[in-house]
Amino acid sequence: MRILLVEDDAALAESTSRALRSQGWVVDCTARGEPVPLSLREDRYDLLILDIGLAGIDGFETLRRVRNQGSPIPVLVLTARDGVEDRVRGLESGADDYLVKPFALSELIARARALVRRSQARFSNELKMAGLRMDLDARRAWLHEEPLALSAREWEVLSFMMARIGKVIAKEQIVSASNGWDQSTTDNAVEVCISRLRAKLEPAGIQVRTVRGFGYLLEEQAPVAKT
């Protein structure tokens, strides 16, 4: 489990991260909110622990930016203020839980554990490969935690292929998996859809490989540098 901790009080950041690491969790610390959205796009975290009172943009604004980029990461907000207003505002801006300072480290660990467990249950109906994540219930997809726009057809074809990673999928299977396509659907229509998906998935390090005479195969690969 990997946690991003945003806390500008150095002593508190130190004691908090020590407590979290004692659980065998990996903890990255930052004192500022500005780099958080980018960190969440670049690295995979299971939990964000976010102080509200920060220098620069505060925790509310940080959270707003995180949610605006479509990140579903569970967020535990830390607030020094005892005001009900802050807690309500935190929850309204997309936090999943909050702790009022000072808090017992055992309480923090228990809350962190509960949040991650809850989010893992919520996202169990997910398909993942390299930088791509698909939530089958919500019918949403993300590339490196940024929302990925897919047409209804692309969604059907891609989710069908993602459920069969490592297997070669015949064109006929793709046709029958997609609503509104029937046996009269031309090979060309399938190829057009596949080539659109190819262009969208390449930045995520996913290749749609053509297996001549058989069909297609999803493969993970290092992203190709654009020339």
- By CB under 5 A, tell whether 86 contacts Ca ion: no
Residue 23: CB minimum distance to Ca ion, A: 23
Please identify, using beta-carbon distances, which residue of 8 and 46 lies nearer to Ca ion.
8
- By CB under 5 A, tell whether 53 contacts Ca ion: yes
Residue of minimal Cβ distance to Ca ion: 53
User: Which stretch in 5-13, 141-149, 182-190, 211-219 sits in contact with Ca ion by CB under 5 A?
Assistant: 5-13
What the block records as the tokens of 199 is: 């262009």
79 CB neighbour count, 10 Å cutoff: 21
What the block records as the tokens of 41 is: 């796009």
- By CB under 5 A, tell whether 8 contacts Ca ion: yes
User: Which stretch in 3-11, 30-38, 141-149, 171-179 sits in contact with Ca ion by CB under 5 A?
Assistant: 3-11
Residue 93: CB minimum distance to Ca ion, A: 17
H or E stretch covering 133: strand 132-135
Number of residues in contact with Ca ion under rule CB under 5 A: 3
User: Which stretch in 18-26, 48-56, 86-94, 146-154 sits in contact with Ca ion by CB under 5 A?
Assistant: 48-56
User: Which stretch in 52-60, 65-73, 115-123, 189-197 sits in contact with Ca ion by CB under 5 A?
Assistant: 52-60
Rounded to whole angstroms, how far apart are CA atoms 226 and 203? 10
The number of C-alpha atoms within 13 Å of 113 and in the hemisphere containing its C-beta is 11
Percent helix, strand and coil across the chain, each rounded to 5? Answer: 40, 25, 35
Query: DSSP secondary-structure letter at 219?
Result: E
Between the alpha carbon of residue 123 and those of residues 51, 63, 66, 138, 143, the distances in Å are 25, 20, 18, 10, 16
Among 48, 50, 51, 63, binds Ca ion (CB under 5 A): 51
Please identify, using beta-carbon distances, which residue of 51 and 154 lies nearer to Ca ion.
51
Comparing CA positions, the residue from 205, 220, 214 lying closest to residue 165 is 220
Residue 28: CB minimum distance to Ca ion, A: 17
Which residues would be at the binding site for Ca ion (CB under 5 A)? 8, 51, 53
